[in-house]
Amino acid sequence: MINEVAVSNNIHMIRSLIKEKIGIGILCWLDIMDEVQNDELQFIPLTDPQLKTFTLSLCVAPADSFPWRLR
Per-residue model confidence (pLDDT) at position 63: 66
In a domain, 64, yes or no: yes
Expressed as residue numbers, the domain containing 23 is 11-70
The whole-model pTM stands at: 0.62
Question: Distance between CA atoms of 71 and 66, rounded to whole angstroms?
Answer: 7
Could you read off the pLDDT of 45-55 as tens digits, one per residue? 888 888 887 77
Buried b (16+ CB within 10 A) or exposed e, 24-48: eeebeeebbeebeeeeebeeeeeee
Any domain includes 22: yes
The C-alpha angle 64, 66, 69, rounded to 5 degrees, equals 120
User: Has residue 2 been placed in a domain?
Assistant: no
Domain count, the chain: 1
| Residue 1 within any structural domain of the chain | no
Q: 10-69, pLDDT tens digit by residue?
A: 999 999 999 998 888 889 888 999 999 999 999 998 888 888 877 777 777 776 666 666
